[in-house]
Amino acid sequence: MRISLVLVACLWPTISVAAETPEYLLAYKAYDQALQEGDKQAAILQSKRAFRLGQNVENIDKTTLFLLAQNYIDLTLWTPTQDTVDAIKLCLNLDEDGFNSGDYSRLELELMAAFTNSKLNPKQKFGPLQKAIEEAIAAGVDEKSLIIIIAKLQVVETMLARGDNDAAYDYITPLYNLFRSTENVDRSLMAQTAMLRAVSMLSDIEHSPYSNHPFSVSDAYVEKIKDGIIILTNALSLYDKPAPTPDEIDPMPLALTMWYSIARTYVGSFEIEAMQDREFEGLRNPADLPELYQFWPQECSDKVVWNREPPRIPSVALRKAYNGVAFISYGFDQQGRAKDVRLISELPQKKFGQYAIEAAEGWSINADQLPKDCLTYRAGTIVMSTISDW
């Protein structure tokens, strides 16, 4: 714990003489226990109780109150609530009064305030957040600081949400390059940055999920898509943990897998359209695509069995990449229209792995000859491979 010892030291004189332990301290202890047990939701709840209860104690040590509020900020900054905003305001007020006992400078707190405001009000202009980022960097805040990074990611997400993909690409690329040249970068941050950079390259692709023939695009645009695919492949490779069970799956690899499969499918669709009326050539041998399997366990790669005549390529369409809406079809009817179309975004995250298995069994992998762990591995790798390799 970053502040446990400091907080206990601040409170110890009070604890030793008090007849009863203050409620805010009990809440803090419950927060600390939940954190040690890995129960983040309980930690968030108890952390909020601790700083809210502390606010109501007339003679509480102000540096202690600052630390209680900072605890809650640390836990909720990525997904802020109004309580996060209130905690930041409290820290700003305490800082102004000379009671800043935490890890954040006033500039960083102001940046947090701008970030949370932007996060909670996505329709507003993000100029204030960009300005806060620039001021913090100019004042000496490390560009690799967590708050700088997540603030920049929020700017990119806002740009993508508005369809301003070129601006998002220009904004995320320096951060992506910085991460690539830095050792010991947090893997989840690097993966998210890579995903956003690739999405900025891919997210203006749109076509009907019911069409077998997407629109024509230039060779340069196809190359841009392929570059995005490479980035996503690299991001996926950051996750080299043992194969999880469906209930343990992290949504970030799921999102990366989804983008990867969408991108691969689009490139393939362009190739199909270029072939015009020529007969579909079928799926290529996975041995021709070693980069696709670099994140599979070896025992899985060795046992993939491809059917000789796979069904026609499923339609995968993307409507505004930021919203994560992808259509996956189980084949086509006689008129060439996709059927049984579903939205990935409507599926509960924990069920996506099973959905991937169903798709794999229904398309082109002989699932009976794969070890069970391979079917759940990365909760979408198989469906990604099935729908996109040709």
User: In the predicted model, what is the mean pLDDT of residues 36-57?
Assistant: 91
pLDDT tens sequence across 172-227: 888 888 877 777 666 666 766 776 776 666 544 433 232 232 333 344 554 555 56
Please tell me whether residues 215 and 95 are part of one structural domain. Answer: no
pLDDT of 306 over the 70 cut: no
- Residues contacting 354, CB < 8 A, separation 6+: 246
Is 214 a domain residue?
yes
130 part of a folded domain: no
Residue 64, exposed/middle/buried by CB under 10 A (0-12, 13-18, 19+)?
A: buried
Residue 144 confidence class, pLDDT cut points 50, 70, 90 = confident
* Domain carrying residue 17: 1-104
pLDDT averaged over the chain?
Answer: 59
Residue 234 lies in a domain: yes
Min mean pLDDT across 219-223, 276-280, 294-298 is at 276-280
**Does the residue 322 lie in any domain?**
yes
Residues 369 and 237 in one domain: yes
Asked if residue 357 belongs to a domain, the reply is yes
85 and 215 belong to one structural domain: no
Q: Is residue 312 part of a domain?
A: yes
Look at residues 73, 104, 135 and tell me which one is the last residue of a structural domain: 104
Residue 164's Cβ-side half-sphere holds a number of Cα atoms within 13 Å equal to: 13
Domain end point (choices 83, 104, 125): 104
Last residue of a domain, one of 104, 137, 152: 104
Total domains in the fold of the chain: 2
pLDDT mean over 158-178:
78
pLDDT interval class at 46 (50, 70, 90): very high
**Both 215 and 92 in a single domain?**
no
Q: What pLDDT was estimated at residue 281?
A: 31
In a domain, 113, yes or no: no
In this predicted structure, what is the pLDDT of residue 198?
Answer: 66
CA nearest to 389, candidates 259, 274, 289, 258:
289
Q: What is the pTM of this model?
A: 0.48
CA-CA distance, 299 to 171, in Å (whole number)?
40
Within a domain: residue 185? no
* pLDDT at residue 72 tops 80: yes
Q: Do 77 and 222 have their domain in common?
A: no
